[in-house]
Structure 1
Amino acid sequence: MKTNLECIPCLFEQALRTAMMVTQDEQKIKQVQDELGEIIKEISLESTPPMLAKKMYENVALITGKEDPYQELKHKSTLEALALYPSVKEQVSRSIDPLLTAAKFAAIGNVIDFGVNHGYGLLDEINDVLTREFGVFDYGAFKEHLSKANEVLYIGDNAGESVFDRILIEEMGKNVTYVVRGGPVINDVTLKEALQAGIDTVATIISTGTNIPGAVTEFCGSEFNAAFQKSDMVISKGQGNYESLSDEERSIFFLLIVKCNLVAEEIGVQKGELVLKGIN
């Protein structure tokens, strides 16, 4: 997915919010905004939104001296999700279709996104999960691909959300490789948060090899790209990964909550809807 002009004010808002979270120095906050303007001048609209976001968050870190501004929030959101793990597991096991229910919880977990959804209410979303419907629901194809797959590549998105990814992985019963970011960016899951969530108990963990908030294959490491090509099935979580991978030629299943009008328009749903979409 290419960068749209409407992405630019969104990035300025994210930059301002992040800078104000880590510093009260108004000169530094203004510098973040000023330098983002310079960065945008050099960015091609042919690039993906996560590429622009990477440069913006690196700039915030450089100016404020905070390499991982969301570190405490990532830890807290993972603890919050872990506290819900037993009750979610029980709901999944009692449901008519445990795989579907686990997929719903995994999609709902995508609400934990401090980049665009800093006022999320996880408990409210979880309590509402069984009545939520998908705007796009390629579940039949998802089950068919899963039944034939031996090796599944599962590309994670946010910290905390990964707890619900774990539940879906447990229900899938396949050999899974779970992908985290190669370095801190926004509240995206890294190795540290994946281990906290217990992902290592259900999957092999690898990284994209980069701190781009999305799996942009041309900038990912060789380990990721090899797994991406050889896996029988790819599950991609979240909007950043959708923006990065929606133009890829291989078969991918995207599982997310749509958080922006541009992505909603491209997929053909309303902002805020759950999506399970297969391509190719």
Structure 2
Amino acid sequence: MKTYYKCLPCLLRQTIEATKMVNETPETQEMILRCVLSEMSKMDLNKTPPHMAHFIHQYIKKATQIDDPYRALKKEFNQLSLDMSGEMRKIIQDSAKPFETAVKIAIAGNIIDFGPRADITHQEVRNTVQDCIDQPLRYNRAEELEKAIQESSRILYLGDNAGEIVFDHLLLEVVPTDNITYDRKREANHQ
């Protein structure tokens, strides 16, 4: 995957949103934005958008001395996910196809990603979960996945977004094996 021109405005928006979240002065926000613009002008567009996003977030951390501009949002949406978990667990248990329903809910958890959009609302998360439950999977291979899991000796399950871990654990509760290691993606250079 490479970076297309249409990716650049999104990267700038992420920069602006992240600097606003850390309550920096307009002068610091401008300095960060100018640096990011300068770096974007030199960026190798054959690199991925996550590569540039990683640079942006590392630069913001360095310039503001704040490790995670999204910390408060993550905490808020982790709590929302926990608050929703009982209701989602019941939906899975009452489903004619619990594994498939749990897969849909795990997919829905991916909406909680503040890089692309930091203005996600609680209602959007709830609506996304309901939409994912109500809609058939476009390429439904849930039965094949469940069978492959049963036949596997070990599985590594990676999660990466705030709140997503709750949705993922609902899926893992219905997975018919104890040989799963759950981990979250860590900082990487995204190359």
The normalised TM-score by structure 1 is 0.62
Residue in structure 2 matched with residue 105 of structure 1 by the alignment: 105
Deviation string 1:153-175 (CA, Å, 9 cap, x unpaired) is: 11112010110100111111331
Residue in structure 2 matched with residue 20 of structure 1 by the alignment: 20
Over 3 Å counting, the alpha-carbon distance change for 1:123 and 1:135 in structure 2 is same
The structure with the largest alpha-carbon Rg is 2
The one-letter amino acid of 1:130's match is: I
Q: Partners of 1:5 and 1:144 in 2: how far apart?
A: 41
The one-letter amino acid of 1:114's match is: F
Over 3 Å counting, the alpha-carbon distance change for 1:76 and 1:15 in structure 2 is same
Residue in structure 2 matched with residue 181 of structure 1 by the alignment: 185
Question: Shift in Å at residue 97 of structure 1?
Answer: 0.7
Structure 1 position 128 matched with structure 2 position 128? no
Residue in structure 1 matched with residue 163 of structure 2 by the alignment: 160
Q: Partners of 1:135 and 1:33 in 2: how far apart?
A: 39
Question: Shift in Å at residue 48 of structure 1?
Answer: 1.9
Kept in 1: contact 2:61–2:67 (CA 8 A): yes
- Tell me the SS of whatever aligns to 2:61: helix
Query: Matched residues, percent identical?
Result: 27
Structure 1 position 37 matched with structure 2 position 37? yes
Question: Shift in Å at residue 140 of structure 1?
Answer: 4.3
Residue in structure 2 matched with residue 257 of structure 1 by the alignment: none
Kept in 2: contact 1:39–1:55 (CA 8 A): no
Q: Which runs of 5+ in 2 are unaligned?
A: none
Structure 1 stretches of at least 4 aligned residues deviating more than 4 Å after TM superposition: none
Q: Pick the structure with more strand per residue.
A: 1
Over 3 Å counting, the alpha-carbon distance change for 1:100 and 1:180 in structure 2 is same
Question: Shift in Å at residue 2 of structure 1?
Answer: 2.0
**What is the RMSD of the two structures over their aligned residues, measured on CA atoms?**
1.9
Kept in 1: contact 2:149–2:176 (CA 8 A): no
Question: Shift in Å at residue 126 of structure 1?
Answer: 2.6
> How many residues are aligned here?
187
The one-letter amino acid of 2:13's match is: E
Structure 1 position 115 matched with structure 2 position 115? yes
Question: Shift in Å at residue 12 of structure 1?
Answer: 0.5
Q: Which runs of 5+ in 1 are unaligned?
A: 183-209, 220-280
The normalised TM-score by structure 2 is 0.88
- Tell me the SS of whatever aligns to 2:162: coil
Q: Partners of 2:8 and 2:117 in 1: how far apart?
A: 17
Q: Pick the structure with more helix per residue.
A: 2
